[in-house]
Amino acid sequence: MALPAHADAASTANTEELDLYDIVRNPVVGNYKGYAEFKMGHYDNARSIWEALENRGNAQASFNLGILYEDGLGVAQNNQHAIEHYERAAIAGSSKAQYRLGLLYSDGIKTPRNDAKADKWLCAAAAQGDEDAVALLEQRNNTVRSQRDKDFYRAESLQVTRQYEKAAIIWKRLSNMGDTRSRTRLAWMHEAGQGMPRDLKKAAMLFQQSAQEGDAEAQYALAVMLHTGKGQAKNLEAAQEWLQRAATQNYGPAKEALAQE
């Protein structure tokens, strides 16, 4: 099975030129288009795509909108709007949104601390196999396995409070120590320009390293880059291979892409 051949068709479009009818008709293609626009910093276009998909109940789009509002990308930063989008996504079954809500309610800075909600959403994500949720539950129960885990979630808390440069320093150190998930986090920061200038080539390099080490999230991100030609030279065969690897690990967006195809 191949990735949608026209997944990057809107990558240079203006918002008014986006074919939202086609996007909502095929959510996988739509999310790829939104991601391509996001990669290029076209946040208005990405938001228009994801709003159209969210109106059809697409969990991944709701999660992505939460990211835009939490980080103030193309919109006024608004924690309450972010929480609302994350909750829609979490209710619809997004483990990424469930984990994010668990982190936010545990942290208690962007939204009032609520241990019951934190445990609820972390348990939901853990039940879907989210290893970060499992590790954060362990930390909340004072059963953290290593100092590396403590440092990782310290960086998560710093990122949540928009202290991006401090978070990046920790994740870079952990990445240099061989921590795959920290390298993936650092890649996202390079891609979004958080705590450092936006650098898609650097993000792609880091995603590729984590992907080769078996990180499903990085494998999916790399697949999208290879398919859209953003941050990597376009290579549909390689994109498909990484997508299949991520899907084999039950990574939701990758499984959706393969199922739609």
* Residue 214: per-residue pLDDT: 96
Domain 180-260, what fold? Answer: 1.25.40
* Residue 141: per-residue pLDDT: 79
Counting beta carbons within 10 angstroms of the beta carbon of residue 102, is it exposed (0 to 12), middle (13 to 18) or buried (19 or more)?
A: buried
- What is the three-class DSSP state of 33? helix
Q: Is the dihedral of CA 130, 132, 133, 139 positive or negative?
A: positive
Cβ–Cβ contacts within 10 Å for residue 113, how many?
12
Q: Per-residue confidence of the chain (261 residues) as pLDDT tens digits?
A: 333 333 333 333 444 455 677 777 777 778 878 887 887 788 999 999 999 999 988 999 999 999 999 989 999 999 999 999 999 999 999 999 999 999 999 988 888 999 999 999 999 999 988 888 888 888 887 765 678 888 998 898 898 888 999 999 999 999 999 999 999 999 999 998 888 888 999 999 999 999 999 999 999 999 988 988 888 899 999 999 999 999 999 887 788 777 665
For the whole prediction, is pTM greater than 0.85?
A: no
Encoded tokens for 230: 């953003």
* Residue 4: per-residue pLDDT: 36
Domain ranges of the chain: 180-260
- Rounded CA-CA distance 119/240 in Å is 36
- Rounded CA-CA distance 94/87 in Å is 9
The shares of helix, strand and coil residues in the chain, as percent rounded to the nearest 5, are 70, 0, 30
Query: For residue 4, which of 96, 12, 133, 25 has the smallest C-alpha distance?
Result: 25
